Structures are given as structure tokens and as C-alpha cells.
Structure 1
């Protein structure tokens, strides 16, 4: 039978009864008596012990563990190190007096206070760019082209503000504890097998920024493996699909780990297929529309997979997600009118540039 953790009041009652039984005195029940304070202090220590045991029990099971440090340590013991945060990098247009030297580490700040710094000493000439990187790691350092940065401290010969030329990109937050938990569970359920498809998926998920991956054997030909992946934390819409540099990073990572007997491995981005939906809600409010949209996004994240040849996306999966949205009473799904046929390596995703049509 399950162990039920007693409340503090229940423990006080138990200790008081035990004290009375052992001493034959009801002094612990009388106001102002030291025995009463002793009973409460002892009960409090017992309650804290129960709390600690409950906490320790949660940490024994990876699905329930909520101590971040312990889960990180446990994952590392299985070779699943937590993926660290990384700094964004890019370029600023340079303007000022020719010959001015901008020292390594010189800083500029964005309007919101986020700072970048020069990478190495750089001389200012007529036109050109500064190589810069974010001072702090994380997604917050990513900056679109055209954004202005102001010098933190004045530098003679250097114009301020400067404008981002090449977007600052590559900034990533540290891996969330839930993504780390998922990778650890996958590792335990799929022990290393010397080059199984699960190995290729696990290796791909170890690359910073990669959030989902799919491995296919005999692709593109006998003796080869193809791995598709996306980066859900890079942004919304088509930004989840990796660019050539990110594909090359995964390719190099897999090349360094593939078994000697494998002819080759190919890393690729799936082919984007935006979800096309038209929905009639019986009770139609902004809050319900937002809940339905989020339910569709969550379902696509969990269920969407690119097929190796062809595949089917079942219309009923949409209706199930819509029905589970908070506040939804009833609905009619006009589009799609039938199951969706998926071509090879096509991945369904939600694109806000072609959002759900509510009618």
C-alpha cells in the first residue's frame, strides 16, 4: 500500500500520545509546560525528516526528479552532459576616423542594455565591419541586422552608435532541465549499440541547439544512414529548420562518431510543410483561439515526424488536439478535409505566417 506522508499536526498528535503513554503524564497537553514545547520541537524534526525522505524518493526516479543539480549529475554519469549556453556573434558596421584601433573587449550596448564586445584588436578604415560577440551567453544576445549599438565608454575616433551588419546569431540558452531529462530517458531506454539508429539520434541530440532528430538506415543507399533534425529553440516558424552551417556542425559531429564499418552518414534538414487548418469553433473567443493554437503547436511538436518514403498525417490528430484545448466546447475542422499525405522527409510544423484560419 502507498505510504502517506503525515501532516505536521498529525505528527504532533502522535508524539504527544507516545509521550503520554511512556511517562503516564499529560503534561505535554498543558499550556506553558516545557513538555509541550519539547513535543512540538520533536514533531517538527520528524516532519522535516519526512519531507527529506519524500524529496529523496523523487530523485530516485528520473521522471520525477526535481533537483536540478542531481539530475544534471546523474545525466553526466551516463555521458549526457547538459548542453551549455552559447554566445551570439556577428558584425557591426564600422564608422569613424581611419586608423583608430578598437581594442579587444571594447563594448557596445543595445537599447535594452544587452552588450557586445569586440573580438580582438581591430583597426578602423574607410568602411568595413567589426567582429563582435555577446558579452553574456544566451538567446537574448541574438540581434537582427539594422539594430543600433552605442559605445559603453567613449573612444576617440569611433562613431556611436554603430549598426548591426551581419545579424548576431548563435546565442543559445543552456539546455532546459526537461530536454536533458528527455535525453537521459532516451539514453537509458536505448543503450549504446555500436551504431544503431538510436545511437545516431542520441549523438545528434547532443549537439547544442538540436531538439528533435530522426535517423534512417539504408538512406540514401545501402550502408548509409541519414539523420534529419530541427532546432525548435532557435525561433518560431521556419527558423526551426537548420541552416547550412548548422547542418555542417551536425555532420562533423556524426562523422567523428560513426562506426568504422558504416559507409557514410548524412545530416540534413527536413523539408518544411506548414500546417494548413481552417476551424469553426462553436464558442469562439480570443482565449479559446489561443488555447487551440497552442494545442496544435504542442501536438505537432510531439507527433510530427518526417517519413523515410511516404507517410500519413491523420486528420483525427488535429481534432483530438483541438478538443483538448481549454475552453473548447465543440468545433468543425474544415481544413484539412481528409488525412494529409506526406512526401519523403516532409515535416509538418506550425507557421505563424500562415496561421490557423478561424471562421
Structure 2
């Protein structure tokens, strides 16, 4: 219970004998008043300290420190997308730091110096970390500052590897999972914990003896619940069993041969006829439906015990979309039943056709 300044001061005055004058302006009153103010401030500090004993009240670096000290886990910080650019026309010197960008202003910079001619390729890294750098193919085509001799560039393949930092909520959830599922250094939870510590890993499934005795397969999806990129797969492999021979040079115990893989993408196509509110617009409603269905598929991807995409849940998510009054003729992957998921498949929203 919060203390009150007047109550604290009165308790102090009550503890002083009646032979002293305790009214305003006399020493007994003034000295105890000053001390009561200090006690009240100390009580506030104690209340703040008590709040910090609860993990739910911690954030940022305080949360990092608590979890590192109690479980040895570290937050997954932002990573930067990378891409390979090809010189389309011209030729010349490109220096590390030269800028390239998309039409929308997502900037990349050259990683190293080099001299290039038409057809040559070079590597670039996103200027800003996070998923914003994961742009599509043939989008990095602008040069904010002209580079002598270089006429045009493009990225033939999408930029990949950019992931947002682990949020407080995500980091806290990983801590609780680690706390509730003991890691003894060789059980399935150990492999899950190792893989989940790598930026770019969203969820993990472990397949013991997948390739024979003393083998372990670690299958990954990225934070968007899509197949993980090669950089992420390589990073997890290097952490757990870099030589893929069970020699104990990674986190895995000696004798356990670990192979890191990623999930197979299973596209979920949805088609339906919808009745929408009078003020709604079909294009906006379609985008909102896509967002709701994407959220649902990410919830179930690689989730424990989930073996199918629920037709009923697709129905529910469409009806729950703002602007949708009703729908009919719903098909999911061309049918009207649940879509089975194999152990190594992750559901990803495909075409959504609403009329």
C-alpha cells in the first residue's frame, strides 16, 4: 500500500515526547517533515524495485539482463538483408558504400570495392536492418548517386536475410518456453533452444534418427513461418554440428550427427463469394481477408499437434473480417475440407480470389 506524506510525518511526531513543541516552525516539526519526505521517496523507489521482480514488467535492456542472468539466453537482434546485383549496362569502378535503391527508397550499399563490366555481379547489403530489406527480384535498380560508367543494375533474385529484432514479447515467450521445457544438452529441447537462438529462425521441429541411428534433423521456418533462407540454415548448422559428422565441435554432443533443413512450402489457395457491407470496397476487403488468413496460417505453422489447415477456421477468419457480412461457395485448395499438413510442410497463403 502506498504511503502518504502526512501519515508518515504524523507517525514521526507521535514518537516524540509531548514535552517538545511539535507545531509548524519548531525544530521537531521541521526536522521530521524533511525526513518524512525522504522516507516517501524511498518508498517509491522500493515500489519500483518490487515491480522489477516481475518479469512481465521488464523491457529492453533490463529484460535482456534478467534473462541472460537467469537462463543464459540472448535476444535475437536485427539482421540486414543482402542481395546480388548484376551490371546490366556499362562498366566501371564500384566502391564499398556506393548506394543502390528500389523505387520505394529501400537503400542498399556495396560491400566491397571492385571493377565490373556488363554481366558481372557484386554483393550489396541493406542500409537499414529488418524485414524491410527483403525486396523482390528486379527491384534494386536505382543509383541515388551516379557511378561513373555504370549504366544500369538489377537484382535477378530477391534480397533475403533481413529480420526484425526479437520483440520483448517474443523474447519473454522464448524464456518461458526454455524454463518450462528443460534442456539437458542432448534432448530435443536442447536442439530447439540452440536453433531458436539464431536470428532468422521462427519455429523448429526435431526429427530424431531421421537419417539413421545417432542422427538428428533440425527443420526450420523463418519468423514469417515460411521456409528459411540458406544463410539461416547454414548459421544453425554451424552452431549445432558444423562438420555434420558428430565430432562435437558444435553444441551437439559427440556422436550426434545433425542435419539442418527447412520446411517445404505448401500454398493455401482460397476462393469464395462474399457479401460485403454497403460502404465497403471489395479490394480493401480482400486485402483484410488476406491479412487475417495469413495470421491464422502463421499461428498454426510448425505448431505442436497441428496436422492440417482447418476449413472451419478459414470460414471463421473470413467472416470475422471487417466489412464481410457473409460468404458462400468457399473452397480451400479447390476443396471444402481440411487440408492435411505433412510434418515438414509449412502453410503459406497463396491466391485469394473473392467475388
106, 111, 124: which is aligned to 1:132? 124
**Separation in 2, partners of 1:72, 1:253:** 21
> How has the CA–CA distance of structure 1 residues 58 and 216 changed in structure 2, closer, same or farther, with 3 Å as cutoff?
farther
CA deviation after TM superposition for structure 1 residue 339, in Å: 7.2
TM-score (norm 2): 0.70
Alignment CA distance shift 1:323-1:107 (3 Å) = closer
For residues 213 and 72 of structure 1, the distance between their equivalents in structure 2, rounded to whole angstroms, comes to 22
The 5 Å alignment of 1:253-268 reads: 253-255=239-241, 256-268=250-262
Q: CA deviation at 1:320?
A: 8.1
Give the match for residue 171 of structure 1. 162
Structural mapping, 1:135-284, within 5 Å = 135-144=127-136, 145-152=138-145, 154-159=146-151, 162-233=153-224, 240-244=226-230, 246-255=232-241, 256-272=250-266, 274=268
Q: Structure 1 residues 196, 284: CA separation in 2 closer, same or farther (over 3 Å shift)?
A: farther
- Give, in whole Å, the separation in 2 of the partners of 1:340 and 1:14: 66
Counterpart position of 1:305: 302
Aligned equivalents of 2:288 and 2:346: distance in 1?
A: 19
Query: Helix, strand or coil: the match of 1:229?
Result: strand
For the residue of structure 2 that corresponds to 1:216, the secondary structure is: strand
Q: Alpha-carbon deviations, 1:287-321, whole Å to 9, x = none?
A: 9998887666555444443689x946666767887
Matched, 1:74 2:66: yes
Task: Count how many residue pairs are aligned between Structure 1 and Structure 2.
Answer: 335
Q: Does the residue aligned with 2:83 lie in a helix, a strand or coil?
A: strand
Note the C-alpha offset of 1:26: 6.4
8 A contact 1:288–1:328 mirrored in 2: yes
The Cα shift of 1:16 comes to 5.5
Aligned-partner Cα distance in 1 for 2:326–2:149: 66
Select the residue among 317, 324, 342 that pairs with 1:344.
342
SS in 2 for 1:180: helix
Structure 2 stretches lacking a partner, 5+ long: 242-249
Any idea what SS the aligned residue of 2:349 has?
Answer: coil
- Conserved in 1, the CA contact under 8 Å of 2:100 and 2:141? no
Distance 1:327 1:27 in 2: 67
Gaps in structure 1 of 5+ consecutive residues: 29-34, 234-238
For residue 277 of structure 1, report the CA deviation from its aligned partner.
8.2
Over 3 Å counting, the alpha-carbon distance change for 1:50 and 1:279 in structure 2 is: farther
What secondary structure sits across from 1:148 in the alignment?
coil
Asked if 1 retains the 8 angstrom alpha-carbon contact of 2:88 and 2:153, the reply is: yes
Show CA shifts across 1:148-205 (max 9, x none): 32243x444344x644444332222222222222222222223331311111111111
- CA displacement 1:303-357 (0-9 Å, x = unmatched): 443689x9466667678878998999999997789973635315464516337x6
Of 130-139 and 202-211, deviating more is 130-139
> Which stretch shows the higher mean deviation, 288-297 or 254-263?
288-297
Secondary structure of the 1:253 match is helix
Distance in 2 (alpha carbons) for counterparts of 1:348 and 1:118: 34
